[in-house]
Structure 1
Amino acid sequence: MKIKVFADTICGWCFIGQTRLNKALKAFPETEFEIEHVPFQLNTDMPKEGIERSKYLEIKFGGKDFAQPMYDRMTEEANKEGLNFNLDNIKKTPNTVFSHLLIKLAERSNVHNEVKEKIYHSYFVEGLDIGDKEILINIGKEFNINADVINDFFNLKNIEEVNSYTSVAREKKVSGVPFFEIGTDFISGAQSSTNLENAIKSNLS
């Protein structure tokens, strides 16, 4: 069964949603799943080098104090899934194009799920700049992806392809992420593992 996951690598709810999907998949040990991670950019106009997180919070929410209640709730939900978010570690909000490219490249060796989770962990737990090529190369190397291959893959043609997914999402009326395409079902938001499980079940029958 094919499942498409629209997500951005700086989206905490996407990390939570991915964790819940993983949990749901375990209920179907006999089923072979093909997971496609569809690039989605929450900030399509983000400068290549990213921006300081404090400035980002100012632009997006009017400051950290206004964002805090939403982040507190997100951290609480993450904790329920065994994810220890440490948002204070994050110093920069990155441009996520290169992180999406690494996930796409990882499909070739079928380690895209693992690479994506490592990118999430690097950002939300360790506070690393996942827009930084060197950090992404180090992540890739952990999964035996050659540094030169990664560097070559981070080219203009592939960047443009990642950017083109914006219109794919628009066509499907995806306005927020995570967004799951499970067979004929479309699930928006980091819904429970049970909801995802039910969607899988109904598409298997």
Structure 2
Amino acid sequence: MKIEFFHDVICSFCFPMSNRMRQIVKKYPRINVTHRSFALGWEKEQFIQMFGSHEAVKPEVLNHWEQANKNDDLNRFNIEGMKEQDFLFPTSKNGLKAAKAAGMLQGQDAYWEVFDAIQEALFINNRDISDIEILEDVISQTSLDLDAWKTQFNKPETEQAVLEDLNLVQSYGIQGAPALVIEGKYLISGAQPKEVIEETIEKIAKEEGLQLTGLQMMGSDADACRVVDGNWQCD
């Protein structure tokens, strides 16, 4: 089963959703997740359009954090710590490019590793993840080679790949993050409970004839040898 996971590094509800999706992929190993960018505030101009000023974003967003922390199964948000920070709320651009660069270097697992690390830096450690030096420090603590990541981050193709994801958001008609697009035609919107996601995935798998675990039997059983109670047994 192919799932496109649309999320933003500054998206508070994407934080608990990423944790749930990791559990779901562990349970259903035949799910293939592709990570996609969704920008809630690509640059400060978008914040100004939405909130009136960049300064107005943080107080409003901290209210969202309160709700997201209730949604998070682990209640990991450090809301009081964020209130004490004096930087303006981060924009999406650099964080999304950072995760995309990781994925372009080492694939989807690396993208996910970096995405989660960036979100932890913001929501738990209250760091300004739009700051390049902070992003470099975050990357240095992952499995990626920092110099290789820097080179990829600065390539025009990396930003272009993020913009292509944002175009796909428009093409699919996705209105918010997080969002899961399954097999290019089913949408799960928002940070749904893990049980709801699993039920939906299993229903889609049944409708589409997709295998979520194990191997699908083709044809019928034929003669074979196997080990039973420590002994060989052949048909």
> How high is the TM-score relative to the length of structure 2?
0.71
Q: Which residue of 1 aligns with 2:25?
A: 25
Q: In the alignment, does 2:188 pair up with 1:187?
A: yes
Cα distance in 2 between the residues matched to 1:67 and 1:134:
24
Letter in 1 for 2:204: N
Question: Which structure is richer in relative contact order (CA contacts within 8 A, separation 6 or more)?
Answer: 1
> What secondary structure sits across from 1:26 in the alignment?
helix
Contact 1:8–1:14, Cα closer than 8 Å, also in 2: yes
Q: Which residue of 1 aligns with 2:111?
A: 112
Q: In the alignment, does 2:165 pair up with 1:168?
A: no
Q: Which residue of 1 aligns with 2:230?
A: none
Letter in 2 for 1:149: A
Please report how far the alpha carbon of residue 197 of structure 1 lies from its aligned counterpart in structure 2 after TM superposition: 0.6
Contact 2:8–2:37, Cα closer than 8 Å, also in 1: yes
For the aligned residue pairs, the C-alpha RMSD in angstroms reads: 2.6
Cα distance in 1 between the residues matched to 2:26 and 2:146:
32
Cα distance in 1 between the residues matched to 2:145 and 2:27:
34
> What secondary structure sits across from 1:175 in the alignment?
coil
> 1:96-136 CA deviation, whole Å, 9 max, x = no partner?
22222222232343322222111111100101111122222
Contact 2:102–2:149, Cα closer than 8 Å, also in 1: no
Contact 1:178–1:190, Cα closer than 8 Å, also in 2: yes
Which residue of the other structure, out of 74, 87, 98, is the alignment partner of 2:94? 98
Q: In the alignment, does 2:118 pair up with 1:124?
A: no
Which residue of the other structure, out of 28, 37, 40, is the alignment partner of 2:38? 40
Alignment length (residue pairs) = 192
Please report how far the alpha carbon of residue 69 of structure 1 lies from its aligned counterpart in structure 2 after TM superposition: 4.8
Q: Which has the higher helix share?
A: 1
Cα distance in 1 between the residues matched to 2:19 and 2:113:
11
Please report how far the alpha carbon of residue 34 of structure 1 lies from its aligned counterpart in structure 2 after TM superposition: 2.2
Q: Which residue of 1 aligns with 2:70?
A: 76
Please report how far the alpha carbon of residue 157 of structure 1 lies from its aligned counterpart in structure 2 after TM superposition: 3.5
Structure 1 unaligned residues grouped into runs of 5+: 48-54
Cα distance in 2 between the residues matched to 1:44 and 1:130:
13
Change (3 A) 1:68 1:38: closer
Q: Which residue of 2 aligns with 1:12?
A: 12
Q: Which residue of 2 aligns with 1:3?
A: 3
Please report how far the alpha carbon of residue 44 of structure 1 lies from its aligned counterpart in structure 2 after TM superposition: 2.9
Please report how far the alpha carbon of residue 68 of structure 1 lies from its aligned counterpart in structure 2 after TM superposition: 5.6
> How high is the TM-score relative to the length of structure 1?
0.81
Contact 1:7–1:40, Cα closer than 8 Å, also in 2: yes
Structure 2 unaligned residues grouped into runs of 5+: 46-52, 207-235
